Amino acid sequence: MSENLVSRTGETITSEDETQLLDAVRRWLDRDVSDKVLAMEHADEYPHEMVEQMKELGLFGATIGQEYGGLGLPASTYAKIVTAVSEVWMSLSGIFNSHLIMSAAVERFGTEDQRRKFLPRFAAGEIRGGLALTEPNCGTDLQAIRMRAVRDGDDYVINGTKTWISNGIEGSCYALLVKTDPEAQPRHRGMSLFIAEKGPGFTVSRKLEKLGYKGIDSAELIFDDYRIPADCLIGGEEGRGFHHAVGGLELGRINVAARGVGIANAALREATAYSQVRETMGKPICQHQAIQLKLGDMATRCEAARLLVESAARAYDKGERCDMEAGMAKLFASEAALENSTECMRIHGGYGYSKEFHVERYYRDAPLMCIGEGTNEMQRIIIARQLIERNPV
Ligand SMILES: Cc1cc2nc3c(=O)[nH]c(=O)nc-3n(C[C@H](O)[C@H](O)[C@H](O)COP(=O)(O)OP(=O)(O)OC[C@H]3O[C@@H](n4cnc5c(N)ncnc54)[C@H](O)[C@@H]3O)c2cc1C
């Protein structure tokens, strides 16, 4: 029976719509992606053609409201798409995810003029980009950023450096966190978020080389007297930037958790298949109890991680505060990805270490899930703080 799935902004899709959308994404992954992943991963090649296909599927507008040209999907459906994509090539999900977190900042906190100006072009994938928060001196402690925006007539002039910015080279627009009042106390009151398009004074200084997460570009961005109109200040009011930036992280964490489920599932799938065809001591290795113990733990982690993601996404869709739920999902699913990818490699023996197979990629991609959108150390702290706040004595 068809069930209605409702997004945080009240938009509805049916469970049949969800099934059709997931089928379309899986067909695309089978037809146009899976055979190309190994070569593109090892060449660290940006997937231009796949980006065009993602535009056609509507992925750049997945969570943007329908009135602005997006699909208006609930987080629960979006998370399933992210998991499906990450089961095949996790890097692809980064191309539309940080773009959608930037879009969510404009949709949730921007003025109506900003929404009308940017969201339809974001949804079509005509303008793509991401979130520019981290600086060389700080990632976790975002209130320590040094990037400075100074008002000058109808503009602001921005100076400083951002690093590790996903889509920094191929994208053209970023939600940019700056200090408008470096003396403010508490520090977050002096922070503002701009929607910044590339232009004079905004340069990409270098592409950052990484262990994994290949194909997608990570870059350092330099702002040298970059001039931006004051009407690009999200929400039109200084001092709200920290709140706007962390407001997007709940959805970001659900997304990273969904990516973790994708990697954990892929590792389980490969391990289950390989263990039935590889024989030692006259029988398939899946008949050795040592391998069965690994498979049992791997499958349980996948199921538990999926359920935590679903539960956090449902809380998000209902508009509930869900930093604890999103934190638990992110923590557990990313650690599940790390453990499953390691076990998958062990089960594959020497072949797990070969670049001719996918297994070594899971092992390189999984640790990023423990770092991005707030490290797992910070997730534990967030969970504990919420636990205490919700259970006062
Ligand atoms: C591939 C990749 C893509 C990225 N994409 C983006 C992007 O698109 N946009 C963006 O803005 N950033 C991006 N980042 C940056 C990422 O968000 C940061 O790396 C992350 O937030 C951690 O910050 P940091 O690296 O400065 O580590 P630090 O903050 O220096 O932390 C170092 C260690 O100290 C621990 N720690 C820090 N503070 C505490 C505390 N109070 N209590 C306990 N432990 C603590 C951390 O958990 C960590 O183990 C990306 C990073 C990578 C690697």
Interval 76-134: pLDDT, tens: 999 999 999 999 999 999 999 999 999 999 999 999 999 999 999 999 999 999 999 99
CATH number at 148 reads 2.40.110.10
Domain boundary among 100, 123, 146: 123
Domain boundary among 123, 147, 164: 123
Q: Is 375 in the pocket of ligand 1 (CB under 6 A)?
A: yes
- The Cα 280–Cα 140 span in angstroms is 47
Residues 93 and 169 in one domain: no
Given a cut of 80, is residue 2 above it in pLDDT? no
Interval 185-226: pLDDT, tens: 999 999 999 999 999 999 999 999 999 999 999 999 999 999
Average pLDDT over residues 62-76: 96
Residues 93 and 157 in one domain: no
Residues 147 and 173 in one domain: yes
179: nearest Cα among 190, 189, 194: 190
- Domain range holding 347? 248-390
Q: Is 255 in the pocket of ligand 1 (CB under 6 A)?
A: no
Q: Is 23 in the pocket of ligand 1 (CB under 6 A)?
A: no
Residues 231 and 286 in one domain: no
Residues 269 and 381 in one domain: yes
- The Cα 188–Cα 184 span in angstroms is 8
- The Cα 372–Cα 385 span in angstroms is 20
Domain boundary among 239, 271, 286: 239
Residues 233 and 252 in one domain: no
CATH number at 114 reads 1.10.540.10
Question: Ligand 1: which residue has its CA nearest to atom 41?
Answer: 378
pTM assigned to the model: 0.97
Hey, which of 163, 371, 378 would you mutate to test ligand 1's pocket, going by the most ligand atoms within 8 Å of its Cβ?
371
Nearest atom within ligand 1 for CA of residue 167:
8
Residues 271 and 234 in one domain: no
Residues 59 and 25 in one domain: yes
Residues 368 and 272 in one domain: yes
Tell me if 98 sits within 8 A of 131, measured CB to CB. Answer: yes
Number of domains making up the chain: 3
Residues 47 and 142 in one domain: no
Q: Is 140 in the pocket of ligand 1 (CB under 6 A)?
A: yes
- The Cα 371–Cα 112 span in angstroms is 34
Residues 205 and 220 in one domain: yes
Assess whether 373 carries a catalytic annotation. Answer: yes
Question: Ligand 1: which residue has its CA nearest to atom 50?
Answer: 164
